[in-house]
Amino acid sequence: MARYGGRQTVTVLPGDGIGPEMFSHVQKVFDTATVPVDFEMAPLRADLTIKRDEDFENAIISIQRNGVALKGNIETKLEDPHIPRNMELRSRLKLFANIVHCVSIPTVPSRHNDLDIVMIRENTEGEYSGLEHSPQPGVVESLKIATKVKIEQIVRFAFDYAVKYNRTKVTAVHKANIQKLGDGLFLKIATEMKEQYPQIQFQSMIVDNASMQLVSRPQQFNGGIMLMPNLYGNIISNIACGLVGGPGLVSGMNIGEKYAIFETATRNTGTAISGKNIANPTAFFRASCDMLRYLGLDNYANFISDALFIALTEQGVHTKDIGGTAKTSDLVEAVIKNINAEMKKQKHIKFYGI
């Protein structure tokens, strides 16, 4: 990782839509909290006229040098013939695990309260192989790739995560009754590996039932992990984000052996609400806190997430997406004010890089 003089450089891919404005808010909050992190900007946009390869390769080099990136979503235009850049980044950097922690925030209106579910999704293969072709007019074949190596990697990651973070149960979500080979392999590996983790409860659930259970009785997954192949993981994670308040609230981590990218959980661009001062910056703030924790800067992360939590709960600063009237800037200012107030009280510890 690029750490110079006690400071860490991270790559920032602002992306499209609300991404650029959200990262300017993250920067302000980092400055207020004296976070020892510098941003190296790597603009990657959906604009088809932009010289694609050069920008993309520069972004990859920057992330490889820094080890870590904060990312907004890059729009995927339907007419763009290339593999989506979001996907290409994840596969080039081998970011095999996507982790989304869906936890209810008191006072944020939602369909269910007191939820605490971790979603772990395989992030690089399955339906996202990008291998589609048309062998004859009117026929399309889309390849879903399942490999033992990658399934073992994600299943191992989920059980290890459960042990490390005291999650009690792993639920493997699949459709092995129909996709007997691909999902069958996923289920077989998960079922076998559970034997090595006797302290963790294990169950499997067919994806259609899991979707129904999640919206009707999500509390049954509390304290546990839902472990999923790529596409089911995307859909189920989005459902869970919806249950705890929507796309503006939840962050998502993409973790590999060497690199990590932190972004919002639902990976939307929010193009229609950009420039209007109405987007909820919470998911971006939480992504930046996830990144700080990954870098071992837990004090700074806790400081910012506490300031955010107080603004959302005690102070009730709610943007439109969660039923309030606050503007983006109201929430940003509240967070900054809370950080300043806490810094006065604590004489916030300076990071001297030792």
Residues binding ligand NAI (CB under 6 A) = 17-18, 73, 75-76, 84, 86-87, 247-248, 267-273, 279-280, 283, 321
Q: What is the DSSP string of 159-216?
A: HHHHHHTT--EEEEEE-TTTSTTHHHHHHHHHHHHGGG-TTSEEEEEEHHHHHHHHHH
Residues near 198 by beta carbon (within 8 Å), at least 6 away in sequence: none
Residues near 289 by beta carbon (within 8 Å), at least 6 away in sequence: 251, 301, 302, 304, 305, 308
Q: How far is the CB of 84 from ligand NAI (least distance, A)?
A: 5
Give the nearest residue (CB) to ligand NAI.
248
Q: How far is the CB of 230 from ligand NAI (least distance, A)?
A: 11
Instruction: Kindly tell me which of 79 and 141 has the beta carbon lying closer to ligand NAI.
Output: 79
Instruction: Kindly tell me which of 193 and 317 has the beta carbon lying closer to ligand NAI.
Output: 317
Q: How far is the CB of 124 from ligand NAI (least distance, A)?
A: 12
Instruction: Kindly tell me which of 70 and 295 has the beta carbon lying closer to ligand NAI.
Output: 70
Closest CA to 69 of 211, 226, 261: 261
Instruction: Kindly tell me which of 143 and 272 has the beta carbon lying closer to ligand NAI.
Output: 272
Q: Are 326 and 341 in contact (CB under 8 A)?
A: no
Q: Which residues pair with 173 in a beta bridge?
A: 205
Instruction: Kindly tell me which of 171 and 280 has the beta carbon lying closer to ligand NAI.
Output: 280
Q: Are 123 and 265 in contact (CB under 8 A)?
A: no
Instruction: Kindly tell me which of 187 and 279 has the beta carbon lying closer to ligand NAI.
Output: 279
Q: How far is the CB of 286 from ligand NAI (least distance, A)?
A: 11
Residue with tokens 């291998």: 131
Q: How many residues does the chain have?
A: 354
Q: How far is the CB of 162 from ligand NAI (least distance, A)?
A: 25
Q: How far is the CB of 265 from ligand NAI (least distance, A)?
A: 10
Rg of the Cα trace of the chain? 20
